[in-house]
Every structure is written in structure tokens, then in C-alpha cells.
Structure 1
Amino acid sequence: MGEWSKDMSKVIHEFNDIIRKLRKDCFGKGPERIHTIFVENMAIAKLYGNLTPTERFIASTDEGKEIVHSARTKMIQDMYAASPPANMEALIGAKFVHLFSDMKIEEDLAVSVFIFDKNIT
């Protein structure tokens, strides 16, 4: 058990690094902290500290919150749909199928569920 969990924790760490780099490249800032678990064919990631200072400023109004939420969730889903990161598929050993993503602007918390074509082992 110890060897499996050590290997799996390394995979999770590398998976989080892929997410962080992709979001940094896309939005100019990656999440400050990511917590990921693998369940069957899903990687479920909670991402904390995502917003840039500009996004925080825009989100200071209700309309601004909607704009930031829409941009953040739609943009990241479109990015993964257009070009799933090859290094993510190689790391997981499965083909990426879909990303479900949502964000709670007030708490600067995002949740992403990555679906793959087979269970993650």
C-alpha cells in the first residue's frame, strides 16, 4: 500500500502542476493551491486562489461577478475541448474526454472534474 500511495501522490502532484501551468498561461495567474483526488475515471480538483487582482476588481459588482464567472468557466472548458494537454493524458494513461468546471467567485474557489475514457489506476 505504501508504494502505491507514494506513486499516486507523485501523479497527483504532477497533475496539479499541469493544471497550474495551463491556467497560468491562459489567465496570467495559476491557482495558489490545488487539491485533487482520483475517483474511477475522474480527477476532481479543488482550486483555491485563482483570481487576478483585475478580476477581483471587476467582480466587486454583481454584474462583474457574472462576467468573471462566465469568462473563467467557459474559457477553460473551451480550451480543454479544443486541445486537451497531451502530457495530462500521458500522465494519467487515459484519453481525456470532458471537463466540467464551476467557480464560486466570492470565495475564489473553483472545482474542475476531468473525465477520462477509463479508470485512473
Structure 2
Amino acid sequence: MSQVIHEFNDIIRKLRKELFGKGPERIHTVFVENMAVSTLYGNLTPTEIFLCKTPEGREMIHSARTKMIQDLYAVSPPKGMEELVGAKLVHLFSDIKLEENIAVSVFVFDKHIV
């Protein structure tokens, strides 16, 4: 099971690195029934940290780090994710707390995973 979680985290890290230029420094994932709940630490790039000093910057970064990710996963789940867990991704819920540089993503699949 720990190998599957490790591979799941790698898929998340690689996608976010490609999309934002930096992947999370650490990811903790648990599988619960038909969900994978991932807590991501150290997400922001130095530029994003700088932009978060203004309300407009925080809004822009929050939107990019939540809605953009959700829209991307809705169009196409990351390569290999569904095969890894043996289920189809149906929803992604995601949020980030910019001040703490911590994000949470809840991946909901169509059946129990792994």
C-alpha cells in the first residue's frame, strides 16, 4: 500500500511542477474508501510568495492554485492516476491556505480504491 501512495504522490508532484514550475515539497496522502485525501506542504514558488503580499496577488494565486487545478483534472486526470488506484476520478476538491503554504486535495473516485 505504501508503494501505491508513494506513486500517487509522485503523480501529483509531477503535474503541479509542470503546471506551476514547482511541486509540493512534501505530500501526505491517505486512502479512505473511494477517496484519496492529500495534504501538500511547501507549494508556492518564490514569485507566488512575493505576489501574496497584496490582496490582489493572494486572490490570483488562490484562484490559480484551486480552480485551475480543478479545471485541469476535470478535463483529464493525470496520466496513470486512474490505473494506479483502479478507479475513475469523478471529482476533485482542492483548497490552499496561502499564509501557511499548505494545500488539501480530495480526489473522489467512482468506487473504492486500492
Q: One fold, TM greater than 0.5?
A: yes
Match of residue 33 from structure 1: 26
Under a length normalisation based on structure 1, what TM-score does the superposition of the two structures give? 0.91
Match of 2:99, SS state, is helix
Q: Which structure dedicates a bigger proportion of its chain to helix?
A: 1
Query: What does 1:16-55 correspond to in 2, within 5 Å?
Result: 16-55=9-48
For 1:95-106, what aligned pairs fall within 5 Å after superposition? 95-106=88-99
Shift in Å, 1:66: 1.4
The one-letter code matched in structure 1 to 2:103 is A
The one of 89, 102, 107 equivalent to 1:109 is 102
Aligned-pair identity (%): 75
CA RMSD for the aligned pairs? 0.8
Q: CA deviation at 1:62?
A: 2.2
Q: In the aligned structure 2, how far is the partner of 1:67 from the partner of 1:26?
A: 15
In structure 2, runs of 5+ residues without a counterpart are none
Q: Please, which of 65, 72, 75 is the counterpart of residue 72 of structure 1?
A: 65
The structure 1 segments of at least 4 consecutive aligned residues displaced by more than 2 Å after TM superposition are none
- TM-superposed deviation, 1:73: 0.4
Q: Which ranges of structure 1 fall in alignment gaps of 5 or more residues?
A: 1-7
Figure out how many residues of one structure are paired with residues of the other and give that number.
114
Alignment of 1:62 with 2:76, yes or no, is: no
Instruction: Give the TM-score normalised by the residue count of structure 2.
Output: 0.97
Deviation at 1:71, TM superposition (A): 1.4
In the TM superposition, residue 96 of structure 1 has moved relative to its aligned partner by 0.8
The one-letter code matched in structure 1 to 2:94 is: S
In the other structure, the counterpart of 2:80 is 87
User: Counterpart of 2:26 in structure 1: which amino acid?
Assistant: R
